[in-house]
Structure 1
């Protein structure tokens, strides 16, 4: 009896140590992916901004003061730019260096106030990437700017967990929305006023479109391009990207994702690979946003 009790005590200790170590490792990995620019900001006077064309609709892709999901920001930005039919700008509360997940830092083209002055109206499209609300005071300007520009003439496009940022504004209350499958149950509890949909890659509710996880954001962005510029323009962008799943643009229904046993590899890698390999990514003029997002989003969480 004593030996059984001793075994159980040892087993419990081992489980606690392993689980505790794994939890610490996983949290550390997640936090490293959310690191923000903390150096003295260089002079930004000579940063080139794409020329504004008053004859084109304008797309504002949001950046938070702290950190923004790299894929959610770069991919829609590149896709709208590929059409050559829009003014496409990265905008943030302040025109200072902003961090994307994975370690890539970017400079917004305009601050919110500068964007408002330039346009004199709301942007035609606002892209809402996932922006973790780490500090309420620093995040508040993002929420307020989305709410300010939620007009009938503005399309709001949330990418992946950007639906959480959109739900945070209250603009999804009473509406249906999609988000990343791994967070949908949490958001059902956090925002019960929203009808969260699990079996669609994107949900379109009038001028609000929300996408599910990652590549579903490609479908949602192509849907917006198709609605505004025509199906041929959207197909052209998909072909330029070598995107193989255009059928989802026409019909977003899918089988709901659920956690599988194979996902344990992802969890174990992030929990117990404490000494991460540091890798550099070569940045050069003309670097492709799609390629950059693939590198920074994939290897940061590998």
Structure 2
């Protein structure tokens, strides 16, 4: 084998080994992120609770939850909007009453099951919300997809939030319609599902009795739009003020920026694939807490910026939110090491902070003042701790209008150090073939030289001295 070909093979092998190390590190990190992001807590008494009867003369809303895991704000955002109006009867629905994982480490217990509707214990839903779920086409979610089709065929209106469109394309609901989805999904959707016309740059797209939204936070704005349609403008404005969501207006435009993937998105990629060494944030849940404020904290810290491992904590194992959603938590005294305690929806750290003495406390509602108390203070906090660019990319990935960020700019030290270490290890792995080749050549050369030396010092067996010479 000539020298050029040998060197080319060594170089290719080194590059492949470096890529394998980087790819393996990223895959292991992403798996770790998803495992801690969608890790349901076990239920206690809530799983056996009876189904709440339907409220008469209200619009029946079913917010679906996948057994494989559900994006928190996709489900909780619409829940918080619809449940704030007495014109709607809202409940979360899944295949069973078993706890369901929500992104950002949250766990909820569904209010009802698909069988509750099939058996007639609950009247058919008039409006079905479909959030993004972890396995939209999987066999484990077949019952959920069947429920969507059955409800739609029976006259229900359907709203797909963010990548909930991935669920809807596995049904017949979007056939022949215009729709939108999370911005990074649209290219793939256009190729894989040409039976639907995919639209960019819109907060939501409405086509008949199907409404689809852009990413994550868009579900809140679209829900306010539906409230305006069904309950009137005054009611929608009241709820927008109540949840302190400033990015919707009765006659506002639905136009939003058209996002694309860029090299500047590296904080999202690094955060999702390098979870090691994350600080543990206790997400303090208090009775009656606002649902959207909880979802925003869990989503941004744990599921968009990936700056912390979020651990929901509370005084007890179950917390009922402002409008009746059941969230599960770890008692704060049993949560182990916490690097920080984030308590949304309250201006007082007690009593949770009393159970975690010495742990720094952040109160988003206090930081927000009279402004938005859900997304804005969390994004500002991320900018202070990990840098403005990390906060900007997190806002991009939940398609939330960027609020004013503090001038104080943090540095993502943890993820930067881990990325450098991973790169160094990958480069080191890549030069291993060349080093091994060099060592082999060196040893081989020494062996050859040793052999030649021994041969030069040994007597020549073909040489026989003359007898006369020997006698002399």
Q: Is the shorter-chain TM-score for this pair beyond 0.5, marking a shared fold?
A: yes
**Structure 1 residues 222 and 111: alpha-carbon distance in aligned structure 2, compared to 1, 3 A threshold:** same
CA distance in 1, matches of 2:204, 2:232: 18
TM-score normalised according to structure 2 size: 0.58
Q: CA deviation at 1:174?
A: 0.7
**Structure 1 residues 49 and 239: alpha-carbon distance in aligned structure 2, compared to 1, 3 A threshold:** farther
TM-score normalised according to structure 1 size: 0.88
Structure 1, 186-195 or 12-21: larger mean CA deviation: 12-21
CA distance in 1, matches of 2:200, 2:236: 25
- Asked whether the equivalents of residues 137 and 167 of structure 2 are also in contact (C-alpha less than 8 Å), the reply is no
CA distance in 2, matches of 1:23, 1:86: 43
**Structure 1 residues 49 and 30: alpha-carbon distance in aligned structure 2, compared to 1, 3 A threshold:** same
CA distance in 2, matches of 1:249, 1:218: 16
1:171 to 170, 173, 177: 173
**Alignment correspondent of 1:285:** 287
**Alignment correspondent of 2:188:** 186
Structure 1 or 2, whichever has the larger Rg, is 2
- Asked whether the equivalents of residues 222 and 249 of structure 1 are also in contact (C-alpha less than 8 Å), the reply is no
CA distance in 1, matches of 2:108, 2:295: 12
- Asked whether the equivalents of residues 228 and 236 of structure 2 are also in contact (C-alpha less than 8 Å), the reply is yes
- Asked whether the equivalents of residues 78 and 290 of structure 1 are also in contact (C-alpha less than 8 Å), the reply is yes
RMSD of aligned alpha carbons:
2.7
Q: CA deviation at 1:60?
A: 0.8
SS in structure 1 opposite 2:46? coil
**Alignment correspondent of 2:121:** 118
Q: CA deviation at 1:35?
A: 3.4
1:26 to 27, 30, 33: 30
The unaligned stretches of length 5 or more in structure 2 are 307-472
SS in structure 1 opposite 2:152? coil
- Asked whether the equivalents of residues 201 and 248 of structure 1 are also in contact (C-alpha less than 8 Å), the reply is no
**Alignment correspondent of 2:144:** 142
CA distance in 2, matches of 1:114, 1:10: 58
Q: CA deviation at 1:57?
A: 1.2
Counterparts of 1:50-69 in structure 2, within 5 Å, are 52-69=54-71
Q: CA deviation at 1:134?
A: 6.7
**Greater RCO structure (CA 8 Å; 6+ sep):** 1
- Asked whether the equivalents of residues 67 and 131 of structure 1 are also in contact (C-alpha less than 8 Å), the reply is yes
Deviations 1:42-71 (A, max 9, x none): 343774766632111111111122211111
**Alignment correspondent of 2:39:** 35
1:239 to 230, 238, 241: 241
SS in structure 1 opposite 2:61? strand
SS in structure 2 opposite 1:102? helix
Counterparts of 1:123-272 in structure 2, within 5 Å, are 123-133=125-135, 136-151=138-153, 153-247=155-249, 250-272=252-274
SS in structure 2 opposite 1:183? helix
Q: CA deviation at 1:265?
A: 1.3
Would you say 1:104 and 2:110 are equivalent positions? no
CA distance in 2, matches of 1:240, 1:88: 17
SS in structure 2 opposite 1:281? strand
